[in-house]
Amino acid sequence: MWGGNGVPRVPLPYRGDGHRTPFPSVPISSRMWWPTLLALLVPMVAPLHPEQELDAHWDLWKRTHRKQYNGKEEAARRQIWERNLKYINTHNLEHALGVHSFELAMNHLGDMTSEEVVRTMTGLKLPHNRPHGNETLYVPDWTERTPAAVDWRRKGYVTPVKNQGQCGSCWAFSAVGALEGQLKRRTGNLLALSPQNLVDCVATNDGCGGGYMTNAFEYVRHNRGIDSEDAYPYIGQDQSCMYSPTGKAAKCRGYREIPVGNERALKRAVARIGPIAVGIDASLPSFQFYSRGVYYDQSCNGQNINHAVLAVGYGTQKGTKHWIIKNSWGEEWGNKGYVLLARNRDNACGIANLASFPRM
């Protein structure tokens, strides 16, 4: 029933004898009746069917990450994506119940299996003739105290997060990150160096097929330099070596390796030296979709190290000790490209097994 000026009136109830109450109808202001009308209309709008909702999320994910598929490929990638999404949701429910110390999130790797990620986006390979002598061993000064927390990003030692793409060049990004830190320490200037220079020119490594950080440091020493990123930009695939001395931005005179498995020595190196090249096991889906919190997975195998990253600091979050790790999978991965990895928890993921830094 409508009153004057289009304002609705609420009809009053019957008394039970077939007649309405004798009181006049009560006008409702426009502020009152619109929410009432909407409340009546909302149930009339049918909710999306779960399959339709999943279709919408899939389409949104494809647009967000600029994914395109041909023919049957989309169905296969959709199946992987759905399986990963279910895994993420289950993990996060368990996190809410206190089972895990970190959360997961869907990212640009959502249509890939963990096996595919390891095959195309890691690339750490130990050299067959890796030296084991004391001449390259880092010997910490145990007399000095180390800070409770260190973050070299805040001191200007770390360049922005990069994306290696589907090229097994993690070793080059890890080595370059350590070189950049030492360049800043020595000269006071932070300059992006060229991982592509290493991919193309380190003969003892295999370019996008994988490699090791100390081989990269040795190349820079023998070559008497490495080009800047501007002089030798990254393309994410193997090509002929095009190093030019005119683009040289840094050099090194060797390297040092952290005692295997010694997190105390690694902590001291991070505190006293700067960002350190390290290797970890990155084969688990929990690492693939890490989002925030302190990463710890009992299944992470320190004897199965396959990915090179950069330790840029350490600290404590909500009472849990961690390493600050810079990855090379872009800012869409992790916490803007970083992961907090559990520290002093039985050398989680092998963090201290293959750690090294260049000498300048």
Active site residues: 170, 307, 327
Answer yes or no: are the C-beta atoms of 205 and 211 closer than 8 Å: yes
Residue 140 tokens read as 């910490």
Decide: helix, strand or coil at residue 347.
coil
DSSP 228-289: BTTTS---SS-------GGGEEE--S-EEEPPTT-HHHHHHHHHHT--EEEEE---SHHHHT
Dihedral through CA 116, CA 120, CA 124, CA 127, nearest 10?
A: 110
Where does the chain have alpha helices with state H?
30-41, 50-64, 73-96, 114-121, 170-187, 195-201, 213-223, 263-272, 285-288
C-alpha distances (whole Å) from 321 to each of 148, 271, 344, 347, 355 are 10, 15, 7, 12, 19
Cβ-proximal residues to 298 (8 Å cutoff; 6+ apart), any chain: none
What is the distance between the alpha carbons of residues 265 and 158, in angstroms, rounded to a whole number? 21
What is the distance between the alpha carbons of residues 4 and 29, in angstroms, rounded to a whole number? 12
- Are β-strands 338-342 and 290-295 bridged in parallel, bridged antiparallel, or unpaired? parallel
Decide: helix, strand or coil at residue 118.
helix
Answer yes or no: are the C-beta atoms of 260 and 305 closer than 8 Å: no
